[in-house]
């Protein structure tokens, strides 16, 4: 792949001062040396690196391969080879030592800053970038799981036009020639369909293309975009504004169907700010959520109002009515309307008013613009604007909704398009039922599709180009607040591929320079003068370009326009309503081929490897169906088949249908998993529509694979939930403190460290980032649906979900559960071979290489957190799949028990590092993967021997208790009871 080699880019390491010295970087893919893709079986790029001789040559792991590809092999294998550098890089990387690079990942338009851990040139882990305003150090499941996509051996490779394969150079030549044919009519028959992306570079390229082809048109499409937010702001304020919530100021929150803690461009930051104010006391915030399906945010709510999606607007209007009538907020008077939950609406309104200026109304992206406008009006009337909510010029303002796609399809079907470039994510699959994009594409002579994988759209397109993974290419991106990040590659493309930047650049004949040059020159122009090279290095090192955030500006809503829109919105109709939601894990289906996410239990239902038609138990009863029943769903003229699953707390007469499943052409992971609900959507009603008909099919039941089948605590003190006002430490006195024992407790005070963990259930939203982070950090295998059905999932960290109260309006607790590192661990004394014992610092160690697999430890573990390699889950890894392995963690073989180790590899790294330097490990110097990922700071890890450490403080909290304390296991992981802050008027 000589042509793909970026010239001489360099990668300043995160957190290190950068130098102006030229440090050159090429790739390390000899690790991957796949005969199929490499020109010569070994060291392909050694042979074809640029002649300046400064590029870094192959570095095959010096000690790495053995550990990276570790298996527990007892025999004496043949002598291995050690492959050193030919010429070391100027600043050689220490072999087998992690370095972190800052980059950014864009999802649905906006970027989240990440730090990527790289071993010997292999990215192995994604962390949040604490310097990035949308991450603050937290990271979401999608950013984490992106890594797995990078190494997917079934990614698209190379470039195809029709049946013929194109090399990189000839592809660029042909694209260039194709572009030239559009020159004559100014590109009138040239169209682009892009995904949402606020990237300045893409914007610039679009501008350049537009200059060359003034009549060419750009469309944007996201199956689950944020159009309504932008539209709502435009409606309310008359201009394109981004809404920036400031939850650190908010004390009373009303979410109108907004799953802001999980979905949304700023979810990580909002989760952190929200959780920061869930401490008991007068400052404890209160969250009301009006929604149909239980969302992560709904599960965190103090009060949930179960409403059809179409009723949410009415609820908001009723709140407005109370505010207008009782509290004298006259401006809201034109907005008022009725709701069936009047008592609740009144109470919410009273509460919002009491905290005016410190309250906040949020609207969900599935709700129409009118609801967003209503929220703006409410916030303005309550005096929240400028305090708990800010408005700033839109970072990205293009229509990305299904309307755009419908218009494009219509033009295509009418034969108005000769060339269509598609970089949007799989539009043929995500298109609503009434947009026949597949048929329309057939009418376009040249359809150029850039995608990471072959998917439903690929066969409909005449050109299929393999897209480079974000970790393989250069680019830029903007966070929700406008902060720019440079996207830098961590590895040379594993497969022949190119980036969106290069595709667009080829239409202005600029692709030859490569993404790096295009990007750098673009920023050089923008920055102008100064010490650009130095700035550039600093941007890369820090992961953000300073002073690029948008500045908030005052904005006042036009109440009359809002009122008009609100009144024009259709009223809620009786009968069954279909409600479409982007799936928590797969979103619109773009992560369907990601096995980590497929196997991750849904945060609420705990279902893996499936979606379902979710409905309330009462509705299910009415329809005569139960969990697993197959049904036919009809809406408008369209119908699909699906299986139902009941969810306590789901609104009645609504069927929630998550997008992203039922992929027909995804790959071995995602194809045929779940049910495709997109055919029921229409461009006009993409998110909810009345008139759904459900007919049970009465056939054999669908086998769902939930990781948790029982959601009641059976009256046991497991995940504790108290009303903040009713809680006192005496209520949990029996769940902590010393237990009577005949064993003299081991004295851990001789060691400088005593590791422990604290998990604050009040902060935990159950978003599941930690579970994916753990999977990535600890080389945890994916086992597949069959094995999950057999209850053999491997996640070391699971998030237990308990429902209490009535099935109609349950209260929920999410409880991250992993090895508790009991000081008197029941697992240890039953192991016949001493494969699980205690360390001098109190860790419950699991020694894989000693384990013979009696599984007795698991039987005796009251928390059932041990995982067993029932089958060889690692046997048939491709070379690239092996590259995702963390070389610091042994890859477990078949027949071995495993479990959470408190990320002991990180402990040992930190210990060795500090001891070589002759100092002690500082609190916060490192933490476990789960704690690091947690957007809500719910998990804290550290040294209990240090009374000042964060974890010690959690352990001393009056909310602290031990799970199954009465067993006397003395766990090192303490939980803090979950507190709710209900409104006394509603209880």
Partner 1 sequence: MATYVLAEFKDEAALCAAARRMRELGQKQLDAYSPVPVHGIDEALGLPKSKVPLIALIGGLSGAVGGYVMQWWMNGVDYPLNVANRGAHAPPANIPITFESAILLASIAIVLAVILLSGLPRLHHPVFDVEGFRTASLDGLWLSAEVPAAEGEGVVRELQKLGATQVERVAEEQR
Partner 2 sequence: MSATRTNTALDRKGLDELEGAPVLVGRPSDKELTHELFQPVWGEMRRGWLALFGICVGVSGLLFAAIGYTFAKGIGAWGNNIPVAWGFGIINFVWWIGIGHAGTLISAILLLFQQKWRTSINRFAEAMTLFAVMQALLFPLIHLGRPQFFWWLFPYPSTLGVWPNFKSPLLWDVFAVSTYFTVSLLFWYVGLLPDLAALRDSSKKRGARIAYGIFALGWKGSAKAWRHYRIAYLLLAGLATPLVLSVHTIVSFDFAVSQLPGWHTTIFPPYFVAGAIFSGFAMVLTLIIPARKVFHFEHVITQRHLDNMAKVLLATGLMVSYGYMCEHFIAWYSGNKYESFVFFQTRQRGPFAPVYWLMMFCNVIVPQIFWSKRLRENLMVVWVASILVNVGMWTERFNIIVTSLHRDFLPSSWAMYRPTWVDWSIFVGTLGFFGALFLLFLRFVPSVSASEVKELRRELDHEAHAIAHPPAHGVGRGG
Partner 3 sequence: MSALFRPRANTAFRLVLILLGGGAVGALGGAMIWARVPAGTGQQEPLLQPVQFDHRHHVVDDGIDCRYCHTSVERGPSAGIPSTALCMNCHAQIWNKSPRLEPVRESYFSGQPIPWVRVHRLPDFVYFNHSIHIAKGVGCETCHGRVDQMPAVEQVAPLTMSWCLECHRNPKPFLRPLDQVTTMGWTPQGDPAALGRELEKKYEVHSRTSCTTCHR
Alpha-carbon span 654 to 572, nearest angstrom: 12
Partner in contact with 70, chosen from partner 3, partner 1, partner 2, none, beta carbon below 5 to 8 Å by kind: partner 3
Q: Which stretch binds partner 3 (CB under 8 A): 307-315, 437-445, 786-794, 885-893?
A: 885-893
- Give residues 717-736 in contact with partner 3 (rule: CB under 8 A): none
Find, among 980, 814, 769, 765, the residue nearest to 271 by Cα.
765
Quick note: the x/- pattern for partner 1 over 344-363, rule CB under 8 A, is --------------------
Binder of partner 1 out of 834, 876, 918, 948 (CB under 8 A): 834
Find, among 762, 764, 750, the residue nearest to 797 by Cα.
764
Helix, strand, or coil here: 268? helix
With binding defined as CB under 8 A, does residue 743 bind partner 1?
yes
Alpha-carbon span 460 to 456, nearest angstrom: 8
What DSSP state is assigned to residue 3?
A: G
Binder of partner 2 out of 79, 81, 710, 744 (CB under 8 A): 710
Q: How far is the CB of 409 from partner 2 (least distance, A)?
A: 46
Quick note: the x/- pattern for partner 3 over 816-855, rule CB under 8 A, is ---------------------x-xxx-x-x-xxxx-----
Longest dimension (CA), the chain: 91
Nearer to partner 1 by Cβ, of 548 and 839: the residue is: 839
| Residues β-bridged to residue 475 | 487
Q: Which residues contact residue 840 at a Cβ distance below 8 angstroms, ignoring those fewer than 6 apart?
A: 748, 750, 751
Residue 930 contacts residue 818 (beta carbons within 8 Å):
yes
Find, among 547, 792, 577, 774, the residue nearest to 688 by Cα.
577
Output the DSSP codes for 531-582. Answer: -HHHHHHHHHHHSSBTT-SPPP------HHHHHHHHHHSPPPPSS-EEEEE-
Name the burial class of residue 194, with classes exposed (0-12), middle (13-18) and buried (19+) by CB atoms within 10 angstroms of its CB.
Answer: buried
Alpha-carbon span 106 to 478, nearest angstrom: 8
Nearer to partner 3 by Cβ, of 139 and 891: the residue is: 891
Number of residues that bind partner 1 (CB under 8 A): 19
Q: How far is the CB of 835 from partner 1 (least distance, A)?
A: 11
What DSSP state is assigned to residue 302?
A: S
Q: How far is the CB of 704 from partner 2 (least distance, A)?
A: 13
Alpha-carbon span 979 to 82, nearest angstrom: 56
Alpha-carbon span 7 to 230, nearest angstrom: 39
Binder of partner 1 out of 326, 829, 859, 924 (CB under 8 A): 829
Alpha-carbon span 634 to 621, nearest angstrom: 19
- Report how far apart, in Å, the C-alpha atoms of 649 and of each of 367, 585, 605, 619, 718 are: 20, 20, 11, 11, 21
Nearer to partner 3 by Cβ, of 5 and 103: the residue is: 5
- Rounded (10°) CA dihedral 778, 782, 783, 789: 100
With binding defined as CB under 8 A, does residue 747 bind partner 3?
no
Alpha-carbon span 563 to 561, nearest angstrom: 5
Q: Which stretch binds partner 1 (CB under 8 A): 551-559, 605-613, 633-641, 831-839?
A: 831-839
With binding defined as CB under 8 A, does residue 834 bind partner 2?
yes
Nearer to partner 1 by Cβ, of 563 and 825: the residue is: 825
With binding defined as CB under 8 A, does residue 745 bind partner 1?
yes
Find, among 411, 356, 363, 343, the residue nearest to 382 by Cα.
356
Residue 4 contacts residue 44 (beta carbons within 8 Å):
no
Q: How far is the CB of 851 from partner 1 (least distance, A)?
A: 15
- Give residues 11-50 in contact with partner 3 (rule: CB under 8 A): 42-43, 46-47, 49
Alpha-carbon span 924 to 417, nearest angstrom: 57
Quick note: the x/- pattern for partner 1 over 688-727, rule CB under 8 A, is ----------------------------------------
Alpha-carbon span 222 to 227, nearest angstrom: 9
Tokens 């908010």 correspond to 250
Binder of partner 2 out of 276, 284, 561, 718 (CB under 8 A): 718
Q: How far is the CB of 743 from partner 1 (least distance, A)?
A: 5
With binding defined as CB under 8 A, does residue 317 bind partner 3?
no
With binding defined as CB under 8 A, does residue 851 bind partner 2?
yes
| Residues β-bridged to residue 98 | 119
Quick note: the x/- pattern for partner 2 over 783-802, rule CB under 8 A, is ----x--xxx-----x-xxx
Q: Which stretch binds partner 1 (CB under 8 A): 365-373, 643-651, 838-846, 921-929?
A: 838-846
Binder of partner 3 out of 17, 80, 162, 530 (CB under 8 A): 80
Q: Which stretch binds partner 1 (CB under 8 A): 81-89, 140-148, 827-835, 907-915?
A: 827-835
- Give residues 839-868 in contact with partner 1 (rule: CB under 8 A): 839-840
With binding defined as CB under 8 A, does residue 860 bind partner 2?
yes
Partner in contact with 743, chosen from partner 1, partner 2, partner 3, none, beta carbon below 5 to 8 Å by kind: partner 1
Alpha-carbon span 287 to 361, nearest angstrom: 10
Name the burial class of residue 862, with classes exposed (0-12), middle (13-18) and buried (19+) by CB atoms within 10 angstroms of its CB.
Answer: middle
Q: Which stretch binds partner 1 (CB under 8 A): 623-631, 824-832, 898-906, 940-948?
A: 824-832
Partner in contact with 326, chosen from partner 2, partner 1, partner 3, none, beta carbon below 5 to 8 Å by kind: none
Alpha helices in 824-949 (DSSP H): 826-830, 856-859, 879-882, 904-916, 929-933
Quick note: the x/- pattern for partner 2 over 870-909, rule CB under 8 A, is xxx--------------------xxxxx------------
Give the N- to C-terminal CA distance of the chain in Å, as an integer.
66
Residue 853 gets the label, from left (phi > 0), alpha (psi -120 to 50) or beta, of left
Find, among 433, 396, 867, 799, the residue nearest to 635 by Cα.
433
Alpha-carbon span 335 to 331, nearest angstrom: 8
Q: How far is the CB of 779 from partner 2 (least distance, A)?
A: 18
- Give residues 941-980 in contact with partner 1 (rule: CB under 8 A): 970
Q: Which stretch binds partner 1 (CB under 8 A): 81-89, 335-343, 820-828, 892-900?
A: 820-828
Nearer to partner 2 by Cβ, of 539 and 802: the residue is: 802
Nearer to partner 3 by Cβ, of 46 and 807: the residue is: 46
Alpha-carbon span 599 to 614, nearest angstrom: 19
Partner in contact with 937, chosen from partner 1, partner 2, partner 3, none, beta carbon below 5 to 8 Å by kind: none
With binding defined as CB under 8 A, does residue 823 bind partner 1?
yes
Q: Return the H-helix or E-strand segment holding 501.
A: helix 500-506
Number of residues that bind partner 3 (CB under 8 A): 57
Nearer to partner 3 by Cβ, of 183 and 849: the residue is: 849
Partner in contact with 866, chosen from partner 2, partner 3, partner 1, none, beta carbon below 5 to 8 Å by kind: partner 2
With binding defined as CB under 8 A, does residue 858 bind partner 3?
no
Residue 926 contacts residue 910 (beta carbons within 8 Å):
yes
> Where do contacts with partner 2 occur on this chain (CB under 8 A)?
74, 708-716, 718, 787, 790-792, 798, 800-802, 815, 817, 826, 829-834, 837, 850-856, 858-860, 862-864, 866-872, 893-897, 963-964, 967
Query: Binding residues for partner 1, per CB under 8 A?
Result: 743-746, 822-829, 831, 834, 837-840, 970
Residues of this chain that interact with partner 3 (CB under 8 A) are: 42-43, 46-47, 49, 57-58, 60, 62-63, 66-67, 69-74, 76, 79-88, 92, 94-97, 837, 839-841, 843, 845, 847-850, 888-891, 901, 904-905, 907-908, 912, 915-916, 918
């Amino acid at each position: 792949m000589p042509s793909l080699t970026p010239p001489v880019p360099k990668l300043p390491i995160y957190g290190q001062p950068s130098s102006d010295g030229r440090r050159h970087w090429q790739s390390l893919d000899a690790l991957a040396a796949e005969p199929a893709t490499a020109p010569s079986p070994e060291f392909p790029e050694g042979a074809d690196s640029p002649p300046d001789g400064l590029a870094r040559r192959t570095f095959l792991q010096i000690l790495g391969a053995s550990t990276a590809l570790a298996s527990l092999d007892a025999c004496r294998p043949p002598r291995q080879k050690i492959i050193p550098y030919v010429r070391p890089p100027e600043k050689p990387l220490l072999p087998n030592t992690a370095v972190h690079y800052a980059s950014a990942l864009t999802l649905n338009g906006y970027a989240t800053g990440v730090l990527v851990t790289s071993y010997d040139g292999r990215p192995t882990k994604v962390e949040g970038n604490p310097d990035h305003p949308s991450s603050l150090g937290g990271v979401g499941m999608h950013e984490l799981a992106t890594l797995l996509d990078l190494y997917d051996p079934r990614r698209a490779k190379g470039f195809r036009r029709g049946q013929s394969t194109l090399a990189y150079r000839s592809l660029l030549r042909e694209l260039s020639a194709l572009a030239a044919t559009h020159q004559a009519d100014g590109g009138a028959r040239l169209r682009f369909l892009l995904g949402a992306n606020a990237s300045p570079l893409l914007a610039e390229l679009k501008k350049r293309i537009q200059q060359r082809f003034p009549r060419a048109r750009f469309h944007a499409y996201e199956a689950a975009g944020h159009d309504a937010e932008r539209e709502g702001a435009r409606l309310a304020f008359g201009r394109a504004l981004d809404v920036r919530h400031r939850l650190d100021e908010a004390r009373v929150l009303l979410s109108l169907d907004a799953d802001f803690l999980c979905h949304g461009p700023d979810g990580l930051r909002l989760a952190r700010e929200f959780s920061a104010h869930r401490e008991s006391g007068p400052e404890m915030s209160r969250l009301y959520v009006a929604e149909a399906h239980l969302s992560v945010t709904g599960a965190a709510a103090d009060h949930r109002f179960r409403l059809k999606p179409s009723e949410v607007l009415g609820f908001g209007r009723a709140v407005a009515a109370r505010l207008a009538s009782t509290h004298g907020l006259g401006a809201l008077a034109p907005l008022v309307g009725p709701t069936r939950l009047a008592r609740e609406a009144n109470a919410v309104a009273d509460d919002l008013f009491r905290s005016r200026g410190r309250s906040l109304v949020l609207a969900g992206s599935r709700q129409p613009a009118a609801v967003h406008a209503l929220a703006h009006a409410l916030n303005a009337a309550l005096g929240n604007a400028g305090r708990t909510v800010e408005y700033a010029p839109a970072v990205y303002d293009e229509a990305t909704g299904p309307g755009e796609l419908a218009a494009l399809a219509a033009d295509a079907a009418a034969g108005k398009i000769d060339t269509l470039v598609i970089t949007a994510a799989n539009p043929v699959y995500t298109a609503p039922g009434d947009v026949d994009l597949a048929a329309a594409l057939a009418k376009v002579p040249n359809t150029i599709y850039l995608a990471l994988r072959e998917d439903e759209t690929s066969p409909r397109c005449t050109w299929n180009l393999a897209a480079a993974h974000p970790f393989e290419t250069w680019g830029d991106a903007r966070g929700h607040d406008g902060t720019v990040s440079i996207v830098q590659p961590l590895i040379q493309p594993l497969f022949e591929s190119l980036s969106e930047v290069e595709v667009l650049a080829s239409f202005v004949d600029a692709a030859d320079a490569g993404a790096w040059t295009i990007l750098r020159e673009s920023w050089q122009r923008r920055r102008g003068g100064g010490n650009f090279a130095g700035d550039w290095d600093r941007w890369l090192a820090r992961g953000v370009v300073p002073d690029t955030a948008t500045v908030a500006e005052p904005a006042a809503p036009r109440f009359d326009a809002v009122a008009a829109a609100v009144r024009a919105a259709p009223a809620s109709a009786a009968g069954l309503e279909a409600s479409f939601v982007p799936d928590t894990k797969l979103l619109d289906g773009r992560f369907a081929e990601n096995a980590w996410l497929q196997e991750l239990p849904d945060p609420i239902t705990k279902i893996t490897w499936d979606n379902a038609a979710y409905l309330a138990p009462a509705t299910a009863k009415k329809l005569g169906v139960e969990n697993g029943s197959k049904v036919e769903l009809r809406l408008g003229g369209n119908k699909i088949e699906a299986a139902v699953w009941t969810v306590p707390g789901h609104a009645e007469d609504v069927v929630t249908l998550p997008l992203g499943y039922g992929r027909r052409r995804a790959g071995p992971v995602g194809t045929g998993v779940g049910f495709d609900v997109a055919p029921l959507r229409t461009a006009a009603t993409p998110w909810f529509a009345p008139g759904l008909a459900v007919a049970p099919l009465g056939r054999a039941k669908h086998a769902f694979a939930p990781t948790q089948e029982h959601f009641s605590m059976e009256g046991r003190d497991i995940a504790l939930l108290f009303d903040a006002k009713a809680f006192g430490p005496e209520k949990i006195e029996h769940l902590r403190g010393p237990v009577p024992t005949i064993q003299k407790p081991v004295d851990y005070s001789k060691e400088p460290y005593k590791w422990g963990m604290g998990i604050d259930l009040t902060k935990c939203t159950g978003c599941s980032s930690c579970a994916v982070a753990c999977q990535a950090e600890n080389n945890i295998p994916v086992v597949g649906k069959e094995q999950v059905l057999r209850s053999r999932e491997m996640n070391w960290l699971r998030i237990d979900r308990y429902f209490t109260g009535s099935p109609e309006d349950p209260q929920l607790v999410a409880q991250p559960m992993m090895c508790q590192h009991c000081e008197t661990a029941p697992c240890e004394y039953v192991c016949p071979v001493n494969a699980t014992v205690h360390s001098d610092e109190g860790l419950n160690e699991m020694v894989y290489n000693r384990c013979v697999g009696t599984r007795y430890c698991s039987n005796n573990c009251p928390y059932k957190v041990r995982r067993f390699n029932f089958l060889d889950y690692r046997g048939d890894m491709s070379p690239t799949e092996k590259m995702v392995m963390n070389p610091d963690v042994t890859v477990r073989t078949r027949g071995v028990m495993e479990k959470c180790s408190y990320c002991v590899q990180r402990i040992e790294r930190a210990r060795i590092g500090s001891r070589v330097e002759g100092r002690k490990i500082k609190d916060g110097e490192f933490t476990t993967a789960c704690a690091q990922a947690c957007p809500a700071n719910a998990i804290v890890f550290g040294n209990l021997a240090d009374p000042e450490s964060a974890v010690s403080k959690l352990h001393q909290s009056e909310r602290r208790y031990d799970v199954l304390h009465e067993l006397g296991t003395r766990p090192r992981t303490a939980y803090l009871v979950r507190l709710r802050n209900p409104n006394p008027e509603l209880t």
